[in-house]
Structure 1
């Protein structure tokens, strides 16, 4: 009982716990599947080239996997609604991991491409399902930070495994790598038991491209696609735009981009939870546009490294902010749709950007083509600012 001179103690509400057992199991699964995916991203093309399929086979392997992923991403929300998270994620882990073992017995181009297609389907299931499940098992007040942690867990295998896979081919050989990639994905099956079986809302919106008008999802989807266009272009064409005797410079620039993106993704999530992701999105796009624009000076070492660093920061932040913004605008019944849309923007922007840029650069040269890429990213700032004025 308080007296007249006593002042009641006011306690600030504690932040809801973020790292739960379910979230931890999901991160374990995500890390293993990302390790499996990125280890073989650069190794399978080398395997085909070493087996006589040449550059055409190498290019087809990557293209087959990504096109398969884009196609299957449209189906994942319906799969989750019908079979639940545990079954669908388990299927994704098997499709991503098990086909790697087929490569132990064949280097035939048609069979390797079939493996890539199946693994692409597994990848699509995992990225869409994992993002939707994060929104389910983490508190809404800390969702941006949760997506940031997810970005770090996915980004570390990308930064480590792409160069490591190529190096290990000369140390332990292709066969050992194929087995390791399979195990890295399949081991995630042991963590599925503690995850939710079904979405928390029974009635799910399963049409990925349906009901978008007035949903608030179109702006962040197209804005993010504009940034991923530049991401696909920088990783694909920067090594070709720089002289052969400066490839170490390209490696350093891409490493800076790979390192800064996950960190920016996490920081954007932490601050986005506090002030709202819409308020930070224009700044992220400005950094990405400046980074892409710096590549106009493709002959300058400083411009390449600084530009890649700025772009990595902007790209990582935009990943988190667009995803958080989309989830903030929909009910739980649309969580699967948001995850599928966002991943379609990621993979589609990446692929389309690389294809179109290849035709543009043939007629303009690299400097002007990189400049046009920066214009695409800069144009996305306008709808982001307009959306901030209209709604947050």
Structure 2
């Protein structure tokens, strides 16, 4: 194992993206995210199977919501924790919380037990996501930050490509306990890579109001709130698409999840490369429109072609939206605020998913799945209003954007 590496924040000239520190960050984060994605759609299905047909959708929404609520709560605290204990120590804590409680799920599908496990796992997820994103932003040259964030997003998206469909497949063919055991092993195994993470303690942000104070700044709030609408749709898709499709068509859900999971990181990496050269704001509106159209297409769960096309469009839009909102927010602050921006962006990510799982779950219980998907698409599309305001207000309350790289 290599010795601990210190972050290098020299931005004098564009340099390589894949430094030792960046590779260590990617490997550790990937291990954690395999454990997360394997269970993302499996746990709601597990609880729904054990709750009876009358309350399955509601129980599934509650456990996903619990995961996201604790994730959000942890994300708010991460910048202060890293300033006190350093990146590596806090990341290790996140891995332990994400992995260690998982095997308790094998004991029972009772909602209180599953909610308790999800609360602990959510806290670990919040830590891993905030620390990983902040490091990815710090470890690459400013002129290549969009591409670096895209590469990091693509790398940690690979577990989603494999984990979402594989978790569903394994739950059907190997049983839930096998999925829980493998997810635990992945998270705990990532501790080996975490030893090589940078040990820096970033300077505390001097901004008023902490993480949530960023919502007072329009240049940060607009991308964050708009992206939360996209993640609301993601929460609906991962929680309710497996339930909306007939149980005899679980293979269709597995393929759709694979399509969505594959297009998301690929689109995000492309968006970072494009944005560094032509400006990230150009892709803001199109990405939101694609997310809305994609989730609306899923309102026909009985049509396999429509489901697969919807999954592809949704995945592409979601990947571009991830990179665009991250890049815009990071380029509007200085390095001392990277931790706060990372926490705010990840908070938007997980708050949106939680609201989608719980809030839309209540609506779906009354209206059915097609109306729930269509309503979600309309809600996402409303975010184009904030996109239009952002383009007009960017020069008012945000620092000047850096000069884009010339086209390759």
- Could you say which TM-score interval applies, normalised by the shorter chain? 0.7 to 0.9
Is the Cα contact below 8 Å between 1:78 and 1:207 reproduced in 2? no
Q: In the TM superposition, what are the counterparts of 1:195-274 in structure 2 within 5 Å?
A: 195-201=197-203, 205=207, 207-214=210-217, 216-274=219-277
Classify the secondary structure of the residue corresponding to 1:196. Answer: coil
Q: Is 1:280 equivalent to 2:279 in the alignment? A: no
CA apart distance, 1:47: 6.6
Is the Cα contact below 8 Å between 2:259 and 2:312 reproduced in 1? yes
Is the Cα contact below 8 Å between 2:100 and 2:188 reproduced in 1? yes
Residue range with higher mean Cα deviation, 23-32 or 106-115: 106-115
Classify the secondary structure of the residue corresponding to 2:219. Answer: coil
Per the alignment, residue 320 of structure 1 pairs with 323
**Alpha carbons of structure 1 residues 102 and 259: separation in structure 2 relative to 1, 3 Å:** same
Is the Cα contact below 8 Å between 2:241 and 2:253 reproduced in 1? yes
- In the aligned structure 2, how far is the partner of 1:152 from the partner of 1:323? 14
- In the aligned structure 2, how far is the partner of 1:137 from the partner of 1:224? 24
Query: TM-score scaled by structure 1?
Result: 0.84
**Alpha carbons of structure 1 residues 215 and 376: separation in structure 2 relative to 1, 3 Å:** closer
- In the aligned structure 1, how far is the partner of 2:215 from the partner of 2:121? 29
- In the aligned structure 1, how far is the partner of 2:138 from the partner of 2:13? 20
- Structure 1 unpaired stretches of 5+: 1-12
CA apart distance, 1:83: 1.1
Match of 1:356 among 353, 356, 359: 359
- In the aligned structure 1, how far is the partner of 2:247 from the partner of 2:177? 30
**Rg larger in structure:** 1
Per the alignment, residue 135 of structure 2 pairs with 133
**Alpha carbons of structure 1 residues 53 and 369: separation in structure 2 relative to 1, 3 Å:** closer
Per the alignment, residue 181 of structure 1 pairs with 183
Per the alignment, residue 88 of structure 1 pairs with 90
CA apart distance, 1:241: 3.7
Per the alignment, residue 293 of structure 1 pairs with 296
Query: TM-score scaled by structure 2?
Result: 0.81
**Alpha carbons of structure 1 residues 362 and 64: separation in structure 2 relative to 1, 3 Å:** closer
- In the aligned structure 2, how far is the partner of 1:312 from the partner of 1:162? 13
**Alpha carbons of structure 1 residues 238 and 187: separation in structure 2 relative to 1, 3 Å:** closer
- In the aligned structure 1, how far is the partner of 2:126 from the partner of 2:173? 31
CA RMSD of aligned residues (A): 3.0
**Alpha carbons of structure 1 residues 119 and 328: separation in structure 2 relative to 1, 3 Å:** same
